[in-house]
Structure 1
């Protein structure tokens, strides 16, 4: 070759995870930053403890429930350093998920258990997909009563045994609807049976808090509320971290598996 492919000495080579890089540097970066936003927004709006720095973001939404509180790594740094900082925010009795887009090594010495390596899934805008059919009426939540319906379905339908019996305000504060999250509920008449949330940040839509009551399973309820959340911002890609049960549903909605992330839990 006629010239060197090496950069000039001292020139910084971007890794894709520098804090100053735009979110749209890559779709995976957008997904990471959007999930980090999801991790702090509800806690911040409820006036509860939260942190959002260069290496991680997290917040305390509830004192119980293993999926209620999230900590998301934002850079491929030593997770032991992150968890040392997390310990200063989270009291020992408060559970949380530790979500890492990168392999972590063994985090059991921090009191965490490995939950798995679920795939990050992505659906690009404009993808031709037939909307799922259901007998439920899918409504966007705009009132405190609707938010309580969504909470109840999440607690009882996901389910979240630690938050049962259901008490209003367990997960969502009234200010939640004033932020970047939009909640949907599927009703059979006036009975709430399914829910999903669309959270917009970093130019993508995070689909989260998908739950269906047993009475609505097999009726297209989960796919329909997921579809409502997925397409709420039609010009944005949608991303989600998929459970084993949810992956076939998401694939039918034209979601693609991008890569596996790593999730630990402190229960």
Structure 2
């Protein structure tokens, strides 16, 4: 059938998910690849198991909680193939979070439980927003003592019950410092009360591990720490997969909801 809009026969048509396609082909592709980098970066630096292939990426930091370990789909393939491949490439006796940027079929037969459909939210660098204020002192973390403070706030403030009682090193290895992620902590004196991370990958800033201790909520710490992470690379777009509680905060900072992703958990 002839048509002026049909390409020449045999021409390769990009889908947007080819392994060799530039990350900047689309904002969604950048977000997918940044999440894949987040899944592997900490494990790779710490000498823990990790895998990064064409279809998926994953890393294993521990054995006590799914948010310690991530598997991220990079292409719209059958998720069952990724689950089986992950069982071969990574330790098969630990919990993990399975993040798919696409809707999936029911994966309960593979031992996973559906956690939800969080929205991918993004803020463009041209967005004009009034910076939030807080009475907490915001510090960029550069040493292991500060790293332990950030880890405590995430584990107790998010919270991660599987990682309690708190022991340093369950989530952040010292090799995490100086890598692709920058960490901030908000202090009241010497007491750590809020934290956030900016992970830099695929020319995008991924905002992760935003947490506030219960005693500090209502003081603007979460918004201020999120702002520090969001604007750390001011010429890049920033993205976050948002919780229900976090969405209003991100919207006030200029983030827009783009689409919903799918999260499964292997208990």
TM-score, scaled relative to structure 1: 0.97
Output aligned runs, 1:112-261, within 5 Å.
112-261=112-261
Output aligned runs, 1:63-78, within 5 Å.
63-78=63-78
Partner of 1:50: 50
Unaligned runs of 5+ in 1: none
Whole-angstrom distance in 2 between the partners of 1:99 and 1:12? 29
Unaligned runs of 5+ in 2: none
Tell me whether 1:93 sits opposite 2:102 in the alignment: no
Q: Which moved more, 1:169-178 or 1:52-61?
A: 169-178
- Pairwise CA RMSD: 1.1
| Deviation beyond 2 Å, 4+ runs, structure 1 | 89-93
Partner of 1:208, secondary structure, is strand
Whole-angstrom distance in 2 between the partners of 1:178 and 1:253? 27
Counting matched residue pairs gives 266
Whole-angstrom distance in 1 between the partners of 2:28 and 2:67? 22
Partner of 2:177, secondary structure, is helix
CA deviations on 1:178-211 (whole Å, 9 max, x unpaired) are: 2110000000000000010000000000000111
